[in-house]
Structure 1
Amino acid sequence: MTTASVIRLSPDQLDELMLVRDGFCSAADLALSMPDGAVFVDLEGAVVASVVDGGLEFAAEDGRPFAQLYGISTSGLDRGARLAARTYSTTVETPTRWSSRDGALAESRDRDHDTRTRWSSRDGAPAESRDRDHTHRALWVDQPSDNVAELAPPNAILLVPTSPSHQPGHHALAALRSALAAAREREDLRVLAVPVELDAHPERRELVERALDADSSSTISDHEASSAAGVFILLTGLSGSGKSTIARALREELIIRGRSVTLLDGDQVRRELCAGLGFSPEDRDTNVRRIGWVGAEIAAHGGAVVACPIAPYDATRKAVRQMVEKAGARMVLVHVATALAECERRDRKGLYAKARAGELPDFTGISAPYEAPEDADLVIDTSEVAVADAVARIITELDR
């Protein structure tokens, strides 16, 4: 194997390849270049598949978490060398399901439904021969819910979108737990994990439903309001703007209301989580991204996080929002927009004076930029709004 023949897959490319391995499409459906002799590896360097004579030979092991929940059948597909773009036929039975009798994965086979899928190199698409009288109903468990068993139609397939499938996020794992709990409660339900992100990959949803002969489908979010796991409140603004004062008061109010709250104060974070970082643009970016990652992890498990770094860069704040929302939580961005002159007037530490004198390089608002957010959920000027009123405004926003 030469270095040039190794192709490291992105998470999205890996999911596409897994759709082929799991039996939902052919290799010809991929936009992935497949030079003969190429070896595809995942993010950790493990071999996923090789290109041999124009076809794909898959590694025997599936390294994804919950690998037994992926694929149309764990036994109906040859997990090794045969699934490829060239002509190939296999019997694909109904999906595996979680058995409530023994608490282990068991295969539910419908002997009257023998679906055969042929991967044809002539037209590069699956040619399907199916029993059209036997169709399925699909329910996409796209968010955690205690009502999956009640919402699922009879004999439904519970499809759990887990993308990227090599490292499913907290939201996907919580949805998976909900689906498995429902299948333990109702033996007619079957659980199938699929490497799909519904909003980003509508075409993949269609592939999956077509491969399963799903005559109807819906999502949990069609039936229920969004159930974000937690909330991340990011207060951004200049030094001295009042971020920390609001954050501490907000934490107290949320605790009084019964929430579990973590306060990530900018100064404390720099002493503990981000010790050693300076104030260069790169270090500022790293500091806020670390806060975002920790906050997203906490919020994904149902907690409320209040963070109050300066967070001067728009791109970094957007990246944090993406982390939080990907974790299945909600982010509320509060711009504490107190004017620079007022922040300087309040300067108890003398930091602005030192910055004006050139003693503190890269000081936000003086010798380093602050990019005011245009996507803030709330804008609060503490020279005009009292702390209690600021907290009340944030609580009102959270209650929406």
Structure 2
Amino acid sequence: MATPQPALAHPALADYRIADTSNLLTPALLIYPEIVRANIAATIRVLGGDANRWRPHVKTSKLGCVMRELTAQGVVNVKCATTLELITAAEAGATDLLVAYPMMGANAQRVIALAAQMPDNRVSALVENAAQIAAWANSNISLFIDVNGGLDRTGINQDRIAEIIELAHAIEAAGLVFRGLHYYDGHMSKHADLATREVMAHQGYDQLMQLVAGLNSAGLIVEELVTSGTPAFPCAVSYAPFKDAPFVHRVSPGTVVYGDCTTTRQLPESYGYRPAALVLATVVSHPAPHRITCDAGHKAVSADAGVPTCNVIGHHDYAPHKPSEEHLPIDLRATASVPALGEQLYLVPRHVCPTVNNFNHALLVADGKVTGLENVTARGREVPIQPTSD
């Protein structure tokens, strides 16, 4: 028997069911725009009504129409990981765009070229050592220093204050703008208890404040500090020194736009988030007693966060098993009703970001009806060879 699916606080099947699915191919990505709109508003509300404090990572949003909803609610500062996300966000109305991924070689040159095409937008990038600065020479790209707060994925360790000061001076000596610090503390997700997570995150923020003080003492201005993906979002909100800081502080949760099983566990229920991106799947087999299989393997619902990969709305007695590429076996408790072949299930992903990236198209759903079809605009990446001016 697979591990029971993670519990969800809010969803009821009636809130998501489509009245007529007879013409829908599955697996299909479903987006609920009214819930997206409410989740964006909820995030701004948690930030005291100040949309300027949010720099969401649009690797989650992916759809141009969803990014337009962000900008419509005043969220015009974003961060992204790919040039396609950069293009999509700018076209959606974002005006301050941070490429929050180390860009090298042709990737950096592509960011420079795109920034030159959008002179009214502010485009920034990350560096963690002096050698990376040269890639941005003679461009209008501003630079954040990527600070490693303990995730050990990218960045310069935050206790190396002297080296960070030296790096900031090198940015300015190269004629570029030192924008501030980028600090992703995604490793806070290992603390399931929010109180413990808050204590650990605040220790890191205390070190960040010391780092900012050191930079200021060296004559360097930290314009912006970017912290906190989804797991640490509540911790940044509760950290008092950020509220009256001499810099702009922005948080960067992106998953909250759609929500998923993991977000539900990590964030306070009082924030009011609801899942807004589901996968519609069809039961295709009854391979064994108390087991069914549906067509939402890991090419549909991402398995990167582990098993179970999803929650089956309305069926807490269903336990999704390890998927293969196209198949998702689901174990049923002995007392569970067995769905007929062809019956459809509504799945909330465990990790929504790569799940959205699995699809070319999304169905928009409202009031039990499919109301639109949208391209997953920023899915994947740009064509890897760009035309030259020669």
Given the two structures, how large is their TM-score scaled by the length of structure 2?
A: 0.27
> Quick check: which has more Rg, 1 or 2?
1
Structure showing greater relative contact order (alpha-carbon pairs closer than 8 Å, 6 or more residues apart): 2
